[in-house]
Chains A and B, each alone.
Chain A
Amino acid sequence: MAKVLMIDYEKCTGCRLCELVCSVKHEGVSNPARSRIKIVKWEMEGRYVPMSCQQCESAPCMAVCPVKAISRDEEMGRVDIDYDVCIGCRMCVAICPFGAMSFDTLAQKVIKCDFCDGDPLCVKFCEVGAIQYVDASMVSTVKQVAAAEKFTSIMQKVAAAISTV
């Protein structure tokens, strides 16, 4: 079963360690501009959202690539770039609905999440669990449990409040 990155933005503390470890792992440097993951922030509202490649089943980047440099690796469940074929036209950057395909201006190439070949570092370093690497089928289960827990805790609070009246 292929795994996916499951992002829970409510848990994200906005520390950007994921950006740091991603750029160090892939480029050997600290430089969030070259990270495959990015925390989009609304600092003055305290909203932080990790954004990364969703490894789409029907990936627009793959469809738009004029030289067929982008393909799907079904076993890994990820979308791959073949840099030997890629001509750096950036059509994939333009079409990605999540902005997850970036252009690294220093290396002059497009970059995207590759799951660190099965052991995503961002996940390993995110102690709060805002980014998790789970079986694709588990995503909704995890979310169901979280939502159910929230719902029942509200119900319990309400019940407690009523009983004290």
Chain B
Amino acid sequence: MALDRKIAYINLTTGEIETKPIPISIRKKFLGGRGLDMYLMYNHIKPGIDPLGPDNVAFVSAGVLVGTLASATARTHIAGKSPLTGFVGSANMGGFFAPEMRWAGFDHLVIKGKAEKPVYLWIRNGEIEIRDAENIWGKTVTETQEIIREELDDRDIKILTIGPAGEKLVRFANVMTEIKNAGGRSGMGALLGSKNLKAIAVRGTMDLKIERPAEALEYNKRVITQVISAKVSQTQGRLGTPFIWGATNSWGGIRTRNFQANQFEYCDDIEPESIDEHAIGMAGCFGCQVHCRAKYIIPDGPYKGVYDEGPEYTAQGALTAEPGCKNLVNLLVGNHLLNMYGLDILETGSLIAWAMELYEKGILSDKDTDGLELRFGNDEALIEMIHRIARREGLGDILAEGGLRAAEKIGKGSIKYLIHVKGMSNLHSDERPTPALALGIATGSRGSDHLRSRPAIDLYGLPEPVLRRIYSQPVAYDGPISSHWRDYEGKPWEVRWQELCYEAVDCLGICKYHTIFLGPNFPNFEEWSRLLYYNTGLEMSPLDIWNVADRAYTMERLFNIREGLTRKDDWLVDRYFDEPTTRGVPAACGVTIDREKFAKMIDEYYEHHGWDENGVPHPETLKKLDIDKEPSHML
């Protein structure tokens, strides 16, 4: 059955490989993917280790529904201690790698030690081999995949790889698959690079048994209808994720010129409709009918004719509004370069925008930039900085260390202008007008992030009864709830709910666009209970799945606390509280986050979790979740 996939322990120092089955008892507690990764991480990573040293452990996994009939079961999860933040490192990507890994017999890989020379893993139908990677070291993301496929003589091999940025230990390097599917955030690419592990190639032809095939087919069809009938799915399937830009920039939620404005004005050329003029079609990840990945060919300039995919909403903001650039071709080229280097687009764009503000404010000089005029709106400077970060040249080498380390090195009050939480840069969203979204980024376990707990539907002004219906299952909630995105009331519960919703999809291996993220009518706990039952035979109620997510998220909290996280780390930088917004609709204009109200939100958020006022889980919370004896070393 779909639960018979194994876990493999691979020691790159000694070359030892061991495989084990995953007991059902552990499955019921953590399911798979991110949930089980978090259990493994807490058990296998010793406290206080150097994230780029051989003691860090890399985890690669497929969610428990990956490869089954559950509408978009494509997600690979990669975990380890983050080289960027020193806290939970966690990246999640679509594509076709995870299902292939399951057909090859594995759900979880635990990669320890460090190879003496560059290597890659070759996994085929239950067998794992460590192979020499000297010939692919230094190659781009796509070159690497093409060379491996040729070497192993199978074009259907799926490959997870790092690019040159990961090899250079850029602390926010990605793990990539195909041309643009990125396991971004928290520097998992640098983690693999530090182990001299260039890639993992998988190919499998083993059956993944579907427990109740007829019902699974029928129910999957119903779920697909539910997903694609949503307006957001149809718009996203047409314009890709940049469609979000239209609304967000209209009301004033786009972080512009680092943090100097909350709307990017007169930018028609980089709006989704303009990007769409260069799209040649849409692509989908495994089993997904939303197909939000745009395919494009660069229309002009030195990269004219080059094929790539995206740019996603993230790239759109990180390469336009943040650095103040309005050039569409530049956006497409930047997106392409970052994909080839295997760099986190969001982090890279954000840090370059920060450096631009430092340059304009005189904190960085021409000497620091080696003569590069690092001004907002300078398209060439943006592209040049991408190269320099990936290659660790000059100022790029400093930025490659991540914002906090760079700020320490640059000094001169540069930290004041850095937009981050826990040392990780924020998306190009400006959360000053939206307390719910601000709370989400402040408390995210992997640092500032929109995919950890963002209650995006909070922006839709949904009627209170609708919000209450959504957020009162699978556990009852009768606290305050509010329709307006400017309010502070009731939002901690929304964040808490979304946090567990996203944790659960990551355990299952389903894409976030197939749950309540961008729309209110998407599948969630109830649907997952059914999908689990039909596909794997696991009988878990919606509440059981909620509890798995709660358990896994609390494990992340325990990990972070063990690494020194305190309440102070669940906080925003001063600019959120001190600099009022200047643009957008009147409700979003002239506003900041209120410190006191925000602190109260954090209190309430901790309370919902069963954590004390310092954000430490109460002993009874751990007992209730049955994780009071961790690390338990069951796997």
Q: Give chain A's interface residues, CB within 8 Å of chain B.
A: 10, 13-17, 20-21, 24-25, 27-34, 41, 43-46, 48, 105-106, 121, 124-125, 127-128
Contact = CB atoms under 8 A, between A and B. Distances in A.
Contact of A127 (B2, B69, B99, B228): B228
Contact of A30 (B68, B221, B224, B288): B68
Given A24-B217, A105-B205, A30 B281 contact: no
Interface stretch (B206-214, B453-461, B494-502): B206-214
Contact of B142 (A34, A44, A121): A44
B32 to A, nearest CB: 15
Given A21-B69, A45-B307, A127-B224, A27 B281 contact: no
Given A31-B103, A128-B291, A46 B205 contact: no
Question: 7 tightest CB-CB pairs across the interface, nearest first?
Answer: A15-B284, A33-B205, A13-B284, A29-B207, A46-B295, A13-B291, A30-B208
Interface of B: 2, 67-69, 96, 99, 103, 142, 145-146, 155, 178-179, 205-210, 213, 216-217, 220-221, 224, 228, 280-289, 291, 295, 307, 309
Contact of B209 (A29, A41, A125): A29
B208 A46 contact: no
B210 A15 contact: no
7 contacts: A10-B281, A20-B69, A21-B220, A28-B213, A46-B283, A124-B221, A127-B289
A15 B2 CA distance: 20
A32 B67 CA distance: 10
A149 B294 CA distance: 22
Contacts of B213: 24-25, 28-29
B43 to A, nearest CB: 30
A28 B210 contact: yes
A27 B206 CA distance: 12
Given A15-B288, A32-B103, A127-B289, A46 B309 contact: yes
A82 to B, nearest CB: 25
Given A15-B285, A127-B224, A127-B228, A43 B207 contact: no
A29 B68 CA distance: 9
Contact of B179 (A34, A44, A124): A44
Contact of B286 (A15, A25, A29, A124): A15
A162 to B, nearest CB: 19
Contacts of B146: 44
B207 A27 contact: yes
Contacts of A29: 207-210, 213
